[in-house]
Amino acid sequence: MISSAVEEVARCRGQACRHDAACRGWDRFRAHRPAIVAAAVMATLAALAALAPWITPYQPGAIDLHHVAAPPNPAHPLGTDELGRDVLTRIVWGGRISLAAGVSAMLIAATVGIAYGAVSGFYGGLVDSLMMQAVDFLLSFPAIVVLLILASAYHGSVLNVILYIGLFGWMGMARLVRAQVLSLRERDFVVAARSLGASNLRILVRHLVPNALAPVIVATTLGVAGAMLIEAMLDFLGFGVSPDTPTWGNLMTNAESYFTTAPLLAITPGLVITTAVVCVHFIGDALRDALDPYANRSGR
Amino acid sequence: MRYAAGRIAQAAPALILISVGAFAIMHLAPGGPTTAYTHNPLVSGQQIAVIRRSLGLDDPWPVQYLKWLSSLLQGNWGYSLVDGRPVLTVVLERAPATLLLMTASFAIALTGALPLGVVAAVRKRSTLDHALTFASFFAWAMPVFWFGLMAQSVLAVHLHLFPVAGIHSTGADDPLDLVHHLLLPALVLSLGSIASWSRFLRSSLLEVLSQPYMATARAKGNSERRATMRHALRNAIVPLVPLIGLDIPHLFAGAVVTETIFAWPGMGRLFFDSLVARDYPVEMGLLMMTAALVIAGNLTADLANAALDPRIRLGARPG
């Protein structure tokens, strides 16, 4: 998505692009000023996380016995944790897992949701009503309770956490895609494709899904914010990624006990998560304006 | 009435399906009832087989499920693996504390969200509106556990405004002491709901305020205040009701975290403890309990919605 956004910027730098849909989209995204700041912040966080092994001053597990639970000092700009590990290093490393987990969980959710919703909306009738009843049933499940039960039974690996969050997030997407496909499948371009001999699969994959994608992209982006929060909560409760791995949630788990002596230990990771979640949300909001201008814009 | 009966009839199969799900999870989870014996050298394979037979674990799944369901309906929810007490007793003795916490935070959320939403909508695009938008973004984005920790550290540990944790001071059991302990966790738990409900009310109220019937209401000589409060708010609240019903599971998830932080002796804390101890019977009891809570929440929301909006009651599609 980033590379295509860059291309759009490049094209818009030229002039007469008022009639190009992608350019108008970019104009609408740009009009959302907080989103531009948010995108810059997220790009920085992502770049820092990606480059962590090369830019952090210490190893994430390195222990400095001269500075244990130390306040910020020249050697450790954000101080050290209760074992003498550099907090800045661990926050930068933590971003690798926390950001990647949020994004991949929602990519799983989007993939499942698109496939499920497209099939349901395309075939309609009994198939549709059965598939949607299954979705309604799953939505009536107290998802977070089941998620916690699963995560507490099998936890430790990042992959599990991603899978759990992803598998509980696709139902909303499926509904979105189904509604889009339902309205699209009667359109002339589908009739045209069919009369040219296109198979059902081809119509679904090449014609319906791409046209139904805009609201899914928005929902996925907004979902990343929620997924990051759930991941942090699982880590904090001790049912997420194994506790020695630096993630933003894990960083806060032990910090609680040291709040009186080293308050920064708990404050910093929380601020980073909150910032990231706010930024992702702003980006999602602007994407909605850019991609889906007719959507019902709640909260604005 | 017909609508209500229909909705209640729909809720029953959902509960049964959830019980199937709970049963499946309980049996797929690692460990099972005989795990405790498999590593004990004094218990032979033969003895385990006897135990399995006596517990009915060799029966086919459907038979096991029906037996489990019928004892569930008779109030026998199994026994906690931690202390051997009946699950229903363990869960029910924790229920009042959670209901108290959730009711309190629900009340705080409503009294906070309604005025904030109305003010933001009436003063659209004012500095106050922008400030509220920004604040609600942050409130929504903060991890509950982090906000809880911060509130606990600053307000309770440093400023001594509230007790740090628990439900009673040692030896005290007067209501005032209880309220004093209740306020901070309830406040922490309600923050997310205040943010999302007030945002939702704002946009829904803005939509209503631009409706033609609002012009009529004003033209009839209603003051702006009366038009907003009597005519607009009533209509704007309708879509908020199902949202509140759908928020109940989130409230419970928040309760797990909040009760864990504030050592509040409710079902959320019990759930966390049972997860740590892998006490599956208690986990499943709580799962069924929350499932019932979620379904009841949806049902109440739908019924309240039907009461507020005659179009739903009379079978027309809501506009």
A16 CB-contact burial (10 Å; exposed 0-12 / middle 13-18 / buried 19+): exposed
A294 CB-contact burial (10 Å; exposed 0-12 / middle 13-18 / buried 19+): exposed
For residues A105 and A96, what is the distance between their CA atoms, to the nearest angstrom? 14
Task: Please list, in sequence order, all residues whose beta carbon lies within 8 angstroms of the beta carbon of residue A93, skipping any fewer than 6 positions away.
Answer: A49, A52, A56, A60, A246
* A274/B150 Cβ within 8 A: no
- Confidence (pLDDT) at A292: 67
Band (B31; pLDDT cuts 50, 70, 90): low
- Confidence (pLDDT) at B231: 84
* A274/B271 Cβ within 8 A: no
* A140/B298 Cβ within 8 A: yes
Residue B79's φ and ψ, nearest 5 degrees, are -125, 140
- Confidence (pLDDT) at A272: 92
- Confidence (pLDDT) at A296: 47
Q: Which of B30, B149, B295 sits opposite A140 (nearest CB)?
A: B295
The answer to whether B293 contacts chain A (CB < 8 Å) is yes
Indicate if the alpha-carbon torsion angle B134, B135, B136, B140 is positive or negative: positive
Domain boundaries, chain B: 9-63, 90-316
What are A156's strand-pairing partners? A241
Alpha carbon of residue B54 to chain centroid: 38
* A142/B143 Cβ within 8 A: no
- Confidence (pLDDT) at A8: 56
- Amino acid identity of residue A38, one-letter, is A
Band (B318; pLDDT cuts 50, 70, 90): very low
For residues A242 and A227, what is the distance between their CA atoms, to the nearest angstrom? 18
Residue of A nearest to B283 (CA): A149
For residues A122 and A217, what is the distance between their CA atoms, to the nearest angstrom? 20
Domain B90-316 has CATH 1.10.3720.10: yes
Q: Which residues of A touch B150 (CB under 8 A)?
A: 266-267, 270
Nearest chain A Cα distance for residue B174, angstroms: 30
Q: Which residues of A touch B138 (CB under 8 A)?
A: 274, 278
Residue B126's φ and ψ, nearest 5 degrees, are -80, 170
> ipTM score here?
0.80
For residues B19-23, give the mean pLDDT.
Answer: 79
- Confidence (pLDDT) at A69: 79
pLDDT digits (tens, 9 = 90+) for B101-143: 999 999 999 999 999 999 998 888 888 988 998 888 888 889 8
Distances (CA, A) of B314 to A61, A99, A139, B7, B43: 64, 48, 26, 14, 65
Task: Please list, in sequence order, all residues whose beta carbon lies within 8 angstroms of the beta carbon of residue A4, skipping any fewer than 6 positions away.
Answer: none
Nearest chain B Cα distance for residue A59, angstroms: 26
Residue of A nearest to B148 (CA): A256
Tokens 């709040």 — which residue? Answer: A259
* A145/B286 Cβ within 8 A: yes
3-state secondary structure chain B: CHHHHHHHHHHHHHHHHHHHHHHHHHHHCCCCCCHHHHCCCCCCHHHHHHHHHHCCCCCCHHHHHHHHHHHHHCCCCCECCCCCCEHHHHHHHHHHHHHHHHHHHHHHHHHHHHHHHHHHHHCCCCHHHHHHHHHHHHHHHCCHHHHHHHHHHHHHHHCCCCCCCCCCCCCCCCHHHHHHHHHHHHHHHHHHHHHHHHHHHHHHHHHHHCCHHHHHHHHCCCCHHHHHHHHHHHHHHCCHHHHHHHCHHHHHHHHHHHHHHHCCCCHHHHHHHHHHHCCHHHHHHHHHHHHHHHHHHHHHHHHHHHHHCHHHHCCCCCC
- Confidence (pLDDT) at B59: 75
Q: Which of A149, A154, A277 sits opposite B287 (nearest CB)?
A: A149
Q: Which residues of B touch A260 (CB under 8 A)?
A: 153, 157
* B29/A270 Cβ within 8 A: no
- Confidence (pLDDT) at B61: 77
Q: Which residues of A touch B293 (CB under 8 A)?
A: 142
For residues A251 and A247, what is the distance between their CA atoms, to the nearest angstrom? 6
- pLDDT of B261 > 70? The answer is yes
For residues B244-254, give the mean pLDDT.
Answer: 78
Q: Which of residues 146-165 of B touch A (CB under 8 A)?
A: 146, 149-150, 153, 157
Band (B35; pLDDT cuts 50, 70, 90): low
- Confidence (pLDDT) at A297: 46
| Mean pLDDT over each residue of chain B, to the nearest integer | 82
Residue of B nearest to A268 (CA): B146
Nearest chain A Cα distance for residue B48, angstroms: 23
Domains of chain A: 61-275 (1.10.3720.10)
- Amino acid identity of residue B84, one-letter, is G
The per-residue pLDDT string of chain A (300 residues; one tens digit each, 9 = 90 and over) reads 455 555 555 555 544 455 566 777 777 777 778 888 999 999 999 999 888 888 888 888 788 888 787 788 888 888 888 788 888 888 899 899 999 999 999 999 999 999 999 999 988 889 998 998 888 877 777 778 888 888 888 777 889 889 988 988 899 889 889 988 888 888 888 889 989 988 888 988 888 888 888 888 888 988 999 899 999 999 988 888 888 888 888 888 877 777 777 778 888 889 999 999 999 988 988 888 787 666 544 433
